[in-house]
Amino acid sequence: MFQTIGIFGKYRGNQCWTHIETLIEFLLSKSCSVYLDKPSCKKFPTHPQAPLMERDELQQKIDLAIMVGGDGTFLDVARSIADGDVPILGINLGRLGFLTDISPDDMIETMEEVLSGVYQEERRNILKVTIYENNELVFEERAINDVVIHKTDSPRMIEFETIVDGRFLNSQRSDGMIISTPTGSTAYALSAGGPILDPKLDAISLVSINPHTMSTRPYVVNGDSEIELRAHEYCEKTAQIICDGQITHNISPDHRTIVKRNPHYLRLLHPKNHDHFELLRAKLHWGDKLS
């Protein structure tokens, strides 16, 4: 079912090279065409049958993306290729990941099954954030986990308004707020006291960070909602927008930030026996006996 495969690696270190070499040889033995992502694999030893390719060109050419690394690398890759409607599969090199859920020991067996059409596929919501300054677009990005309005290095809290579908929700003073997909509900939003959302839900959660009132609570809105953030006048140079903890843009009272569901979904592939509840139990240690 998949014939043209793109492989993406970690940006730092060469710990994924051995696994990438194994993947290349396996895929070539299955008569697949293989390409390497140039930004993340530029230090990989040259392979005559697996050329490097720039990511913009790569996402238009491949019908499957394989990411070898951790959840952080997965987020970077997924953001950049999601609009190409390319399914992505994660080989996990670190601790058990929510997104990269295939161990290197099971990599070849899983790939045998995937190439035979035996796998699970999920379509998950992605967020799109646009920032306008005096009605001019100055920033646009996607987020797999979350879009966060956050204070900068200043110790002061920030004050901002939240508007949902054109209706005023609230004004708050806090360290910020996390606007999260169900995928991101087990990331930063969980640390801030937000709810765990099933990844199949069409929903967006709003979770305040250290709000200056006990009455502020997490709030969940429909996935079709458009969320607007407006920083107050004393937020000059003290607030920023952060996508997946990786991409930032400073904002001021002159900016309007709009967050809504991206038109394209994340196509996430899992092994045939994938169980999200089992993953939650393992990551969050549910049911562990107290010593």
* Domain annotation covers residue 187: yes
Distances in Å between the Cα of 82 and the Cα atoms of 78, 153, 200, 213, 249 are 6, 32, 17, 38, 21
Q: Residue 114: which domain range?
A: 4-124+265-284
71 included as an active-site residue? yes
pLDDT, tens digit, 9 for 90 and up, residues 200-236: 999 999 999 999 988 899 999 999 999 999 999 877 7
- The tally of domains found in the chain comes to 2
Q: 189 and 73 in one domain?
A: no
Q: In the chain, what percentage of residues exceed pLDDT 90?
A: 75
* Domain annotation covers residue 289: no
Q: Which two tokens stand for residue 11?
A: 């940006």
Strand partners, 127: 143, 261
* Domain annotation covers residue 132: yes
Q: What is the chain's mean pLDDT, rounded?
A: 92
* Domain annotation covers residue 291: no
Q: 255 and 131 in one domain?
A: yes
Q: 179 and 229 in one domain?
A: yes
**pTM here?**
0.93
Question: At 177, which CATH number?
Answer: 2.60.200.30
Catalytic entry in 37, 63, 71, 288: 71
- Residues 145 and 180 sit within 8 Å (Cβ to Cβ): yes
pLDDT, tens digit, 9 for 90 and up, residues 131-187: 999 899 999 999 999 999 999 887 889 999 999 999 999 999 999 999 999 999 999
* Domain annotation covers residue 290: no
Q: 118 and 16 in one domain?
A: yes
